[in-house]
Amino acid sequence: MKMFVKTPRIYLLVFFSLLSCGDDEPTPDPGPNTNTAIIEEEAQISAAYTDIDNISLFSLQENGQGLRTQLEFTGDLCPNTEVVHDFENMRIVIDFGEGCTSPNGIFRRGKLLIDYTGRIVFPGVMITVSFDNYHINDIRLEGSRVSTNRGIDLQNGTITFETVINNGKLTWPDGSVSTIALTQNRKFFLPMEAEGIRAEVTGSASGKSKLGVDFDSQISEPLIFFQTCTNTGNWIPSKGKSLITVSGAFVFEVDYGEGECDRTIEVTLEGQTTTLDLD
């Protein structure tokens, strides 16, 4: 299953709407083909961090430190990927070597370092993912991502993780840089027959795009992801809303729909709504 981190997914996409706005401090002009470039950047950022969650939870599940429940996370590793389980030091090293393309079409190289403090089924256990020259689709990731088990609700069949990124950095093939700080809660529900695992994401994020634009985002209605959708490689939430503040001035509402597995969103600014289809 693809896990979820995506408050920042639209801050770049909506930036093109600001090019003619703002009298005091003009927004940088990113150049031609703005819509296509920003949508592509947004999708890649989303996929990069979602992919990390998937790999770490799948690896912990495989080595027996994961969730002994009905939650079954699906991996997406190349056959020649080297996975080393150091049980004594509670570390998993996933080495993609010089690079390979996964069954879902994701190119990875370098190493992921996954440290854990115990079996993640227990409240308080932490998972820290860091990077050793790690690239996904030729984007280099740096920093660390810490997920903490915040509790299991046996009656309702859920487990909740708090995920924090304080120093996230992405370096793009052209040398430009994006940054991100994020705090989110991700609640996983035991799978339903029709939809598989369901995840609800709440929280906020902030950072700077590779275009130099500051953003702050807040999930206003929980973002919903279904395993049957994310397993197809669709990284867009099926439901939920976010409020995105760009350059400290422009507030966009992003509506992800009512449960459909598609790539269509609605972006609203000052009462005017635009429908966008993401590739």
The reported pLDDT for the residue numbered 82 is 92
Q: How do residues 54-66 score in pLDDT, each as one tens digit?
A: 788 888 877 665 5
Percent of the chain with pLDDT over 90: 35
Of residues 201, 118, 198, the one with CA closest to residue 158: 198
Residue 68 has pLDDT above 60, yes or no: no
| CA distances (Å), origin 177, targets 57, 180, 207, 232, 275 | 27, 10, 11, 29, 28
Give the phi and the psi of residue 63 in degrees, each rounded to 5.
-95, 10
What's the average model confidence in pLDDT over 35-60? 68
What's the average model confidence in pLDDT over 83-111? 91
Residue 20 has pLDDT above 60, yes or no: no
What's the alpha-carbon Rg for the chain, to the nearest Å?
A: 18
Q: How do residues 106-133 score in pLDDT, each as one tens digit?
A: 899 999 999 999 988 899 999 999 999 9
Residue 157 has pLDDT above 80, yes or no: yes
The reported pLDDT for the residue numbered 235 is 74
Between 13 and 267, the higher pLDDT residue: 267
Of residues 1, 73, 17, 3, the one with CA closest to residue 270: 17
Residue 12 has pLDDT above 60, yes or no: no
Q: How do residues 194-230 score in pLDDT, each as one tens digit?
A: 677 888 999 998 888 888 888 888 999 999 988 888 7
Amino acid letter, residue 25: E
What's the average model confidence in pLDDT over 183-204? 84
Whole-model pTM? 0.79
Long-range contacts for 81-84 (Cβ within 8 Å, ≥24 apart)?
Answer: 83/59
Between 65 and 250, the higher pLDDT residue: 250
Q: What is the mean pLDDT of the chain?
A: 79
Break the chain into its structural domains and give their ranges.
7-70+148-277
**Cα separation, 260 vs 106, whole angstroms:** 24
Between 95 and 197, the higher pLDDT residue: 95
At residue 184 the predicted structure's pLDDT band, cuts being 50, 70 and 90, is very high
Residue 34 has pLDDT above 80, yes or no: no
What's the average model confidence in pLDDT over 230-236? 76
Residue 259 has pLDDT above 80, yes or no: yes
